[in-house]
Amino acid sequence: MKLSEELIYRGFKAETTIENPEDLDNRESKKFYWGADPSADSLTIGNLAAIMMCACFVRHGYQPYLLVGGATGQIGDPKENGERELKSLDEVEHNKKCIKGQVEKVISNTTSRLVPSRPSSRGSGTQSAPVVADGFEAALPNHSDLTLVDNYDWFKDMKYLDFLREVGKAFSMTQLLDRQFVQNRIGDGGSGISYAEFSYTLIQGYDFLHLYREHGVALQLCGADQYGNCTSGIHLIKRLENGTADVWSTPLIIDPVTGRKFGKSEGNAIWLASSDNGGGNYTSVFDFYQFWLNQPDESVEYLIKIYTLLEKEEIEEILAKHREHPEERLAQKALARGATEVVHGKEAADAIENLTAMLFAKDTDFSEFTEDEILEFAKYLPTEKKGVSLLDALVNNGLAESKKKAREFIAQGAITINGEKVKEDIVVNQTAIIKKGKNKFLIIK
């Protein structure tokens, strides 16, 4: 498929300034950027959908610039319904490093399959080194022409008056007040908006202008909720450089069953981090895999196109077999495998498939697992240290919302330790597998 065809097939098209998607197939400048603000110490599967769109562009020969918003993260992307709480500078820096590592890993896992090796100008048979610009010291995994940037690097020395003269004078208040998020905040019943968040769109617009000037980037990719902010960059490029640029957005990922979007603001976040970076924003590899495995039939055909690297022919074959035998859940298994491999790598995906098979087999005897086997499971399941009370372990890891609820689970016989039902709260001093119900697990080590 051509790029334009694949974007439509996978559902990666919402608002755009490009009238004919086929123009992307033969675009003269094949550079784009996509950005993420460090509002938390992990990205979510909502962000992952946009990264998968980026990988699609890379697959078709585009050069990616990935921006982590060290500057915009200090302000906060305006919400529809209220002011964001400002992050401390230390928190922004911490979040930025965490997100940077996640983006590197996902891009590595996707481009290793999508981007062919290209000869380096330094010699045949090796890839050209990835570019790391504007202050990042650590290079990305060895894939071609990948540039990671941080907008703090071009804003940290910018003077306020210079910004107002160059950027502020390029926008009219009428133009800014017409933005939908501003209208929602200042209209009847609105919560109001600070000058800082009102200015966010100018800062993001300048990012596009900077990348256009310094790197020749003339295309920005984004989620549909960022389309308005992205057009600010187009305006600046046209006004200050007499240049042409475009924005291509992808729809927000909506759960077809619940109607809620996949993201942290909805309280249903599935995080890309598999362990706690300090903010409690993580989803174990096992739970990540289980999330996709438990998708209903009405969701899986939509999600498998977005969250896996499977080709169209592979997807259509899987879906055809799935429709014939839905009880085998072939599509869910392919989705879970593909999404886990993208985020956590092939080795983790292999291990989780094997672990899932063992934990859910009808004839599994949990008392027969050795200590070494249980410790191997701990790489992918939530863990607690030995010496913890059972009640604390259940609450700390979200297997019960309170100690009262945990006691109810114990009384109902829903909690086992190494296959044995527990009748009361105890201190767990041995390496063990705690199981709640049919599909919730915790390792004590």
In the prediction, which pLDDT does 112 show?
61
The pLDDT value recorded for residue 323 is: 95
Beta bridge partners of 246: 219
User: Tokens at residue 104, please?
Assistant: 């590197």
Residues 370-378, mean pLDDT to the nearest whole number: 93
Residue 124 pLDDT greater than 90, yes or no: no
Q: What average pLDDT does this structure show over 82-96?
A: 86
Task: Read off the tokens for 48.
Answer: 């992952």
pLDDT at 141 over 60: no
CA distances from residue 107 to 39, 82, 114, 357 in whole angstroms, order as listed: 20, 33, 10, 28
pLDDT in tens, 54-70: 999 998 999 999 898 88
Per-residue model confidence (pLDDT) at position 192? 82
What is the value of pTM for the model shown? Answer: 0.84
Helix (H, G, I), strand (E, B) or coil at 123: strand
> What per-residue confidence (pLDDT) applies to 361?
87
Looking at the predicted structure, is the pLDDT value of residue 40 above 70?
A: yes
Q: What is the pLDDT of residue 330?
A: 97
* pLDDT at residue 430 greater than cutoff 70: yes
For residue 139, how many other CB atoms are within 10 A of its CB? 13
**Residue 111 is encoded by which pair of tokens?**
């481009």
Tell me what the mean pLDDT of segment 321-347 comes to. Answer: 96
Residue 342 has pLDDT above 80, yes or no: yes
Burial class of 157 by CB neighbour count within 10 A (0 to 12, 13 to 18, 19+) = exposed
Q: In 328-444, at which residue ranges do the beta strands (DSSP E only) sit?
A: 383-384, 388-389, 415-417, 420-421, 427-428, 432-436, 440-444
For the chain, the farthest-separated pair of C-alpha atoms sits apart, in whole angstroms, at 74
Helix, strand, or coil (residue 35): strand
User: Is-contact 141 130, C-beta < 8 A?
Assistant: yes
Question: What percent of the chain is predicted at pLDDT more than 70?
Answer: 90
pLDDT reading at 401 higher than 80: yes
pLDDT at position 263 = 64
Distance in angstroms (rounded) separating the CA atoms of residues 3 and 62: 10
pLDDT at res. 363: 85
What strands lie across the sheet with 31-36, from one edge to the other? 131-132, 147-150, 63-68, 31-36, 219-223, 246-250
In this structure, of 29-43, 131-145, 401-415, the range with the lowest mean pLDDT score is 131-145
Q: Which residue has the higher pLDDT, 120 or 304?
A: 304
> In this predicted structure, what is the pLDDT of residue 128?
37
Q: Which residue has the higher pLDDT, 80 or 143?
A: 80
Provide the token pair at 266. Answer: 């909805």
Q: Tokens 């609105």 appear where?
A: 190
What average pLDDT is seen over the chain? 87
In this predicted structure, what is the pLDDT of residue 13? 97
Residues 307, 10: Cα–Cα separation, whole Å:
9
User: Is a pLDDT exceeding 50 seen at residue 114?
Assistant: no
Kindly indicate the confidence band of residue 134, based on its pLDDT and cuts at 50, 70 and 90. very low
User: Are the CB atoms for 345 and 106 separated by under 8 Å?
Assistant: no
CB atoms within 10 A of CB 151: 23
Give the lowest-confidence range in 102-116, 217-231, 307-321: 102-116
Helix (H) or strand (E) holding 102: helix 89-114
Instruction: Kindly write down the DSSP assignment for every residue of 331-355, as one continuous string.
Output: HHHHHHHHHHHHHH-HHHHHHHHHH
Query: Which one has a higher pLDDT value, 106 or 443?
Result: 443
Give dist(CA 272, CA 285) in Å, integer. Answer: 9
Please state the rounded mean pLDDT for residues 106-123. 52
pLDDT of residue 191 exceeding 80, the answer is no
pLDDT at 265: 57
Nearest CA-CA partner of 95 in 126, 121, 64, 74 = 74
Rounded Cα–Cα distance for residues 127 and 113 (Å): 14
Q: Name which of 258, 271, 270 is nearest 299 in CA terms.
A: 258
| pLDDT score of 145 | 63
Comparing 257-261, 313-317, 349-353, 402-406, which segment has the lowest mean pLDDT?
257-261
Q: Does 319 score more than 80 pLDDT?
A: yes
DSSP assignments along 218-285, one per residue = -EEEEEGGGHHHHHHHHHHHHHHH----EEEEEPPPB-TTT--BSSGGGT---BS-SS--SSS----H
The per-residue pLDDT for 210 is: 97
CA 65, CA 50: separation in Å to the nearest integer?
Answer: 13
CB contact at 8 A, 126 and 120: yes
Q: Given this model, what pLDDT does residue 188 score?
A: 74
Average the pLDDT over 131-157 and give the result.
Answer: 63
Structure token pair of residue 205: 């617009």
Q: Are 145 and 63 within 8 A, CB to CB?
A: yes
The span from the CA of 259 to the CA of 256, in Å, is 6
Residue 120 — very low, low, confident or very high, per pLDDT cuts 50/70/90?
very low
Q: What whole-number distance in Å separates Cα of residue 351 and Cα of residue 235? A: 49
Q: Give the span between the Cα atoms of 409 and 442, in whole angstroms.
A: 15
Is the pLDDT score of 204 beyond 60? yes
Q: Strand runs (DSSP E) across 50-166, as ranges?
A: 63-68, 131-132, 147-150
Confidence of residue 119 (pLDDT cuts 50, 70, 90): very low
pLDDT value, residue 79: 74
**pLDDT tens digits, one per residue of 246-294:** 999 999 988 766 777 776 655 568 999 998 899 889 999 999 999 999 9
Q: Are 392 and 298 in contact (CB under 8 A)?
A: no
Query: Dihedrals φ, ψ of 394, to 5°?
Result: -65, -45
